[in-house]
């Protein structure tokens, strides 16, 4: 299983966040570097991948709204793609009930 670690303490911008995903998961050059494109690429994965988000508090401090939406996008992609799994180092994020 491939594991990608997103270290919220080292990510300060949306560009840095998307760089981490693109490099860590080998996304194509045409990756759109936004949350819709991330969702599309995550649902296209055909190997076991686990996304681990560490230092979420720092990520949320740097990207307040974007960080929470990111987790929601990953959660949705995991529901659509059985090859994906994820964890966030804060329980209230993973258990957050979204309206879909």
pLDDT of residue 92: 74
| CATH number of the domain that residue 75 is part of | 3.30.370.10
Looking at the structure of the chain, the number of domains it has is 1
Instruction: Please say if the pLDDT value at position 95 is more than 60.
Output: no
In a domain, 99, yes or no: no
What is the pairing mode between strands 49-54 and 2-7? parallel
In a domain, 76, yes or no: yes
In a domain, 6, yes or no: yes
With cut-offs at 50, 70 and 90, classify the pLDDT of residue 94: low
Cα separation, 9 vs 55, in Å, equals: 6
Instruction: Please say if the pLDDT value at position 93 is more than 90.
Output: no
In a domain, 37, yes or no: yes
Q: Mind listing the pLDDT tens digit for each residue in 37-54?
A: 999 999 999 999 999 999
Residue 37: domain span: 2-94
Task: Supply φ then ψ for residue 88, to 5 degrees.
Answer: -130, 140
Calculate the average pLDDT of the chain. 93
In a domain, 100, yes or no: no
Cα separation, 79 vs 77, in Å, equals: 5
Higher pLDDT, 92 or 85: 85
């Amino acid at each position: 299983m491939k594991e990608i670690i997103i270290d919220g303490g080292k990510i300060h911008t949306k560009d840095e966040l998307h760089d981490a995903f693109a490099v860590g998961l080998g996304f194509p050059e045409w990756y759109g570097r936004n949350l819709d494109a991330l969702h599309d690429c995550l649902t296209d994965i055909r190997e076991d991948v686990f996304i681990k988000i560490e230092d979420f508090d720092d990520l949320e401090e740097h990207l307040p709204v974007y960080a929470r939406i990111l987790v929601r996008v990953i959660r949705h992609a995991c529901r659509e793609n059985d090859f994906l799994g994820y964890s966030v180092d804060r329980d209230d994020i993973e258990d957050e009930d979204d309206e879909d």
